[in-house]
């Protein structure tokens, strides 16, 4: 593509759309980074939790007249409880083993849930209505952006900031970090370590479900939507630094913008540019941009 022939409005519009995608990447990668950073579990089922959140919202709207605003807390609650069950009945038994076992277990869980939902709902996809308050579009001069997409970006950034503050700057966050970094000493101080570990996995699952609800009005809801995004999420977490919560959020936003730039310069590479960025970062700084050696 001849870059000199591109108009500024077109370039700016692609950047804005990239920022929208980056917002979803940030929230999803944040939940994945929380689970890995605090538990050391490579959770391949994180994309499935994202899919479950979208389906809880769709089923609630289709069969129980559940509004979008109620789905924003019902879906994370339901999926978070499911995550707690997964942690207490499955993952807790393999913490002492190689992390590969956690990856294999969550990968198998993903295949089971995807197969179940494919048999129940098929793969054609379901649509979810946009909330009535966001049906208009915003005029930025160089483009008109649906109001819901703009709200989704603001919401995603707010969620990332609030969670980072909660984990890094509060007493509860300090206890969470202590419980996962030195379980025996933390337990000796009277803190219920298993409860905190379970809460972390439930929180990560709830974040994925929240992202699924926010994405539902924009994308087609299918059983395969989690599998389509999980590899990208792992790349984002690796680039940001495995376990770095701030790194996952910022990298998600930045790589969304990078995708937008790539669509302008060389559209054919827009689906692979994130992985190219991962290779470059690992060669230069193996721990990731915000990770610790």
Q: What is the percent of the chain with per-residue pLDDT over 70, rounded to a whole number?
A: 94
Beta-strand runs (E) in 62-103 = none
Cβ atoms 58, 176 nearer than 8 A: no
What length does the chain have? 293
For 181-217, what is each residue's pLDDT tens digit?
Answer: 666 777 777 778 788 888 889 999 999 999 999 999 9
**pLDDT at residue 182, as a whole number:** 67
For 28-81, what is each residue's pLDDT tens digit?
Answer: 888 888 888 777 788 899 999 999 999 999 999 999 999 999 999 999 999 999
Structural domain boundaries in the chain: 26-224
**pLDDT at residue 121, as a whole number:** 92
Rounded Cα distance, 217 and 51, in Å:
13
> Helix (H) and strand (E) counts for the chain?
11, 2
Please report how the helices 193-215 and 147-169 are oriented relative to each other, as an axis angle in degrees rounded to 10.
Answer: 170
Give mean pLDDT, residues 140-157. 85
């Amino acid at each position: 593509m001849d870059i000199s022939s591109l108009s500024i409005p077109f370039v700016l519009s692609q950047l804005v759309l990239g920022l929208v995608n980056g917002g979803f990447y940030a929230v999803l990668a944040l939940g994945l980074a929380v689970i890995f950073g605090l538990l050391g579990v490579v959770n391949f089922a994180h994309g499935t939790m994202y899919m479950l959140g979208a389906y809880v919202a769709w089923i609630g709207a289709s069969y129980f007249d559940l509004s979008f605003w109620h789905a924003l807390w019902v879906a994370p609650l339901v999926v978070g409880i499911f995550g707690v069950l997964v942690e207490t009945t499955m993952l807790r038994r393999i913490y002492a083993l190689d992390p590969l076992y956690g990856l294999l277990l969550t990968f198998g869980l993903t295949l089971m849930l995807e197969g179940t939902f494919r048999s129940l709902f098929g793969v054609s996809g379901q649509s979810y209505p946009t909330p009535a308050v966001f049906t208009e579009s915003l005029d930025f001069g160089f483009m008109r952006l649906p109001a819901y997409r703009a709200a989704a970006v603001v919401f995603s950034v707010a969620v990332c900031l609030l969670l980072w503050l909660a984990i890094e700057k509060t007493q509860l966050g300090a206890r969470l970090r202590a419980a996962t970094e030195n379980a025996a000493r933390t337990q000796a101080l009277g803190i219920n370590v298993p409860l905190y570990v379970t809460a972390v996995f439930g929180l990560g699952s709830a974040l994925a479900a929240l992202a699924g609800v926010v994405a539902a009005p924009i994308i087609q809801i299918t059983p395969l939507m989690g599998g389509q995004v999980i590899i990208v999420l792992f790349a984002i977490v690796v680039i940001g630094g495995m376990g770095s919560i701030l790194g996952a959020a910022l990298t998600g936003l930045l790589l969304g913008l990078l995708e937008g730039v790539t669509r302008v310069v060389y559209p054919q590479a827009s689906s692979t540019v994130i992985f190219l960025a991962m290779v470059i970062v690992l060669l230069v700084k193996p721990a990731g941009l915000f990770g610790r050696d």
